[in-house]
Structure formats: C-alpha cells, structure tokens
Amino acid sequence: MRKNLLLVLIALLGCFSASGQQNVVKVNPLGLAFGAAQFSYERAISDKGAFEVSLAYTRINASFGVDEAKATGFGAEGKYKFYFSSSKEAPRGWYAAPVVSYSSASAESGSSSGDVSAFSGGAVAGYQWVFGGGSTGFALDLNLGAQYVSASTSGDVSGVDIDGILPRLGVSIGYAW
C-alpha cells in the first residue's frame, strides 16, 4: 500500500514539474518606490495565451509647507496576453495584450477633500522572461503601450481633467511556478 502511494506521488510530482511554469505572481517595483503596491497574477490558459489580473493600493502622505495632504486609492486591471513565439510557450516571450483598468482615490488636505476615479483601456506589447528550467523560476515582464484615460473628480478636487490618450510603461518582477 505504501509503495503504491509513493509511486502515485512520484508520478504526480513528475506531471507537475514536466508542465513547466503556468502561473506567475508579480509586483511592480517602480510603484513601490512611489507609495503604490501593485500585485498581479498571470495564468497561462493555452500555449499562446494567458490571462492576467492586477490589484493596486496607493497611500501617499505629503507636506506642502504647513499643509499636509493624504491620498489613498485602489485599482484593478485585466489583460489577455497573446504570446507570439514559436519556440516558447506562455507565459514566456513576446506578447501583445488589450488592457482595461479602473482606479479610484480619495484625497484630503486640511478641510478640503475629494475623490478622483479613472477608467482606461488600451494595448501593450512586451516581453516576459522566466528564468529557471525546473518547475519554478524568476519572472521579469517589461511592456510599453498606449491607453485612453477618462478621469472624473468630485468634492474639492480640481485641476484633474484627463480625457485622452496617454503612454503606458510596465515593469514587473515575480515568481513563476
């Protein structure tokens, strides 16, 4: 009985390690430097396609002379990556992806407060490396693209009038399994 159980476990382990990396969790190191945490999960659903979802949280405290300002926000994003390489399987290699995202932030300074919300949609092209030949590895994802952004404000927030096309740059590092 123990011998059969051991053989089944070894066979299952072999199946999982033979399939390579299908999942990637990533963080944006540039965002962390500016007070924003963005975490992403990517799952390869075919040899040439993967779905990625991201959640972001921002908290910024700033001082302007005597005034102090605080802002907190959250965001969510979705991508479907089309991988092009004939020699590599998703989640590795060159890709293009449509992107849609929503974010919302609240700010307050003294007796003033307000909200900003933004919706964006666009496309990116990039390359994702997964280093490590076994069942786990380190991932680096770089992408560049454009997005249409529409932002609205409420409360005392003014001067935020975004309604147009903006560039988009993405850098993420993570762990693949």
Which CATH number belongs to the domain containing residue 163 in this structure?
2.40.160
Please, are residues 13 and 7 in contact by the beta-carbon 8 Å criterion? no
Tell me if 92 is assigned to some domain.
yes
Q: What is the pLDDT of residue 161?
A: 75
Tell me if 33 is assigned to some domain.
yes
Tell me if 1 is assigned to some domain.
no
Nearest to 54 by CA among 46, 71, 42, 36: 42
Which of 48-52, 64-68, 103-107, 109-113 has the least mean pLDDT?
64-68
- Domain of residue 127 covers 21-176
Domains in the chain, number: 1
Q: Give per-residue pLDDT as tens, 132-148.
A: 877 889 999 999 999 99
Res 19 pLDDT > 70: no
Tell me if 30 is assigned to some domain.
yes
Cα 142 versus chain centre, distance: 11
Tell me if 16 is assigned to some domain.
no
Res 75 pLDDT > 90: yes
Tell me if 152 is assigned to some domain.
yes
Tell me if 14 is assigned to some domain.
no
DSSP for 125-174, please give it: EEEEEEE-SSS-EEEEEEEEEEEEEEEEEEET--S---EEEEEEEEEEEE
Tell me if 80 is assigned to some domain.
yes
Please, are residues 156 and 113 in contact by the beta-carbon 8 Å criterion? yes
- Determine the 3-state secondary structure of 10 from DSSP: helix
pTM, to two decimals: 0.81
Nearest to 26 by CA among 59, 58, 60, 56: 56
